[in-house]
Structure 1
Amino acid sequence: MDDPQKLNLTPQEIVEYLDGYIIQQQDAKKMIAIALRNRWRRLQLPKELQEEVTPKNILMIGSTGVGKTEIARRMAKMMGLPFVKVEASKYTEVGFVGRDVESMVRDLVAASVHLIETEEKQKNQSKIEDLVIERIAKKLLPPLPSSVSDTKKEEYALNFEKTKEKVRGTALDNQKIEIELDKRALEGDFNVPPEIIKVQESLTKILSKGTEKVTKEMTIKEAKDALRHDVSQAILDMEKVQREGLERARQCGVIFIDEIDKIAVSTKEGSRQDPSKEGVQRDLLPIVEGSTIQTKYGAISTDHILFIAAGAFHLSKPSDLIPELQGRFPLRVELESLSEEIMHEILTRTKSSIIKQYQALLKVEGVDLVFEPEALRELARLSYLANQKTEDIGARRLHTTLEKVLEDISFNAARYSGQQVVVSKEQVSEKLKGLVEDVDLARFIL
Structure 2
Amino acid sequence: MELADQHLVKIQSSSSMPTHSQRPTVMPRGLRSDSRGTTHPSNVLLLGPTGSGKTLLARTLAKVLDVPFSMSDATPFTQAGYVGEDVEMVIHRLLQNCDYNIKKAECGIVFIDEIDKISKRPDAMSISKDVSGEGVQQALLRMLEGTVIHVTEKNGPPSSSNWNGLGPNGATGRKGGLPGLGNGSGTGPGAKGDVYAVDTSNILFVLSGAFIGLEKIVMDRVSKGSIGFDAVVRAPSSELEHVKDAGTRSSRLLDQVDPSDLVKFGLIPEFIGRLPVVAAVNHLDEQALVRILTEPRNSLVKQYQGLFGLGEVKIHFSMAALHAIAGQAIEKQTGARGLRRIMESLLLDVMYDAPGSAIKHIVIDREVVQGKKPALCFSRGDDASVEEALVRDDVLLPQQQQEQGEYIEGAGLG
Corresponding residue of 1:342: 288
My pick for the range that moved more, 412-421 or 85-94, is 412-421
Gaps of 5+ in 2: 24-35, 154-179, 181-195, 215-260, 375-414
How far apart are the structure 2 equivalents of 1:333 and 1:401?
29
Change (3 A) 1:96 1:315: farther
**What displacement does 1:43 show?**
4.8
Corresponding residue of 1:412: 353
Corresponding residue of 1:279: 135
Corresponding residue of 1:42: 13
What is the CA deviation profile of residues 34-62 of structure 1, one whole-angstrom value per residue up to 9, with x for unaligned ones?
44333355357625888721111110000
**What displacement does 1:78 show?**
4.1
**What displacement does 1:80 show?**
2.9
How far apart are the structure 2 equivalents of 1:398 and 1:416?
28
Q: How does 1:196-275 map to 2 (within 5 A)?
A: 242=100, 245-250=101-106, 252-265=107-120, 269=123, 275=130
How far apart are the structure 2 equivalents of 1:88 and 1:35?
25
Q: Determine helix, strand or coil for the equivalent of 1:379.
A: helix
Corresponding residue of 1:318: 262
How far apart are the structure 2 equivalents of 1:432 and 1:44?
62
How far apart are the structure 2 equivalents of 1:264 and 1:279?
10
**What displacement does 1:63 show?**
0.8
Contact residue 56 and residue 306 of structure 1 kept, 8 A: yes
Corresponding residue of 2:85: 99
Corresponding residue of 1:305: 203
How far apart are the structure 1 equivalents of 2:55 and 2:278?
15
Corresponding residue of 1:375: 321
Change (3 A) 1:432 1:421: closer
**What displacement does 1:101 show?**
0.8
**What displacement does 1:378 show?**
1.5
**What displacement does 1:292 show?**
1.3
Corresponding residue of 2:308: 362
The counterpart of 1:428, out of the listed 350, 369, 388, is: 369
**What displacement does 1:247 show?**
0.5
Contact residue 46 and residue 209 of structure 2 kept, 8 A: yes
Corresponding residue of 1:56: 42
Contact residue 57 and residue 330 of structure 1 kept, 8 A: yes
Corresponding residue of 2:52: 66
More helix by share: 1
Corresponding residue of 1:108: 94
What is the CA deviation profile of residues 86-109 of structure 1, one whole-angstrom value per residue up to 9, with x for unaligned ones?
111211111211111111111111
Contact residue 368 and residue 420 of structure 1 kept, 8 A: yes
Q: CA RMSD in A?
A: 2.7
Contact residue 54 and residue 303 of structure 1 kept, 8 A: yes
Gaps of 5+ in 1: 1-10, 12-29, 114-241, 434-446
**What displacement does 1:373 show?**
1.4
Change (3 A) 1:44 1:86: closer
| Letter of the 2:89 counterpart | S
Q: Determine helix, strand or coil for the equivalent of 2:57.
A: helix
What is the CA deviation profile of residues 307-350 of structure 1, one whole-angstrom value per residue up to 9, with x for unaligned ones?
00001111455333111111111111101112223222322333
Corresponding residue of 1:179: none
Q: TM-score, normalised by structure 1?
A: 0.55
Corresponding residue of 1:400: 341
What is the CA deviation profile of residues 217-273 of structure 1, one whole-angstrom value per residue up to 9, with x for unaligned ones?
xxxxxxxxxxxxxxxxxxxxxxxxx5xx110101x2111011111111265x59868
Change (3 A) 1:417 1:304: farther
**What displacement does 1:278 show?**
0.7
Q: Determine helix, strand or coil for the equivalent of 2:312.
A: coil
Contact residue 368 and residue 418 of structure 1 kept, 8 A: no
| Letter of the 2:73 counterpart | E
How far apart are the structure 2 equivalents of 1:306 and 1:431?
50
Contact residue 313 and residue 362 of structure 2 kept, 8 A: yes
Paired positions, count: 267
Contact residue 405 and residue 431 of structure 1 kept, 8 A: no
Contact residue 379 and residue 428 of structure 1 kept, 8 A: yes
| Letter of the 2:130 counterpart | P
Higher relative contact order (CA 8 A, sep 6+): 1
How far apart are the structure 1 equivalents of 2:363 and 2:278?
44
Corresponding residue of 1:236: none
How far apart are the structure 2 equivalents of 1:411 and 1:309?
42
How far apart are the structure 2 equivalents of 1:112 and 1:432?
51
Contact residue 370 and residue 421 of structure 1 kept, 8 A: yes
Change (3 A) 1:407 1:35: farther
Contact residue 265 and residue 321 of structure 1 kept, 8 A: yes
How far apart are the structure 2 equivalents of 1:400 and 1:42?
45
Give % identity. 33
Contact residue 61 and residue 310 of structure 1 kept, 8 A: yes
**What displacement does 1:418 show?**
7.5
How far apart are the structure 1 equivalents of 2:37 and 2:52?
35
**What displacement does 1:362 show?**
2.0
**What displacement does 1:409 show?**
1.7
Corresponding residue of 1:291: 147
**What displacement does 1:81 show?**
1.8
Corresponding residue of 1:333: 279
Q: Determine helix, strand or coil for the equivalent of 1:422.
A: strand
Corresponding residue of 2:378: none
Contact residue 62 and residue 313 of structure 1 kept, 8 A: yes
How far apart are the structure 1 equivalents of 2:373 and 2:69?
38
How far apart are the structure 2 equivalents of 1:374 and 1:111?
42
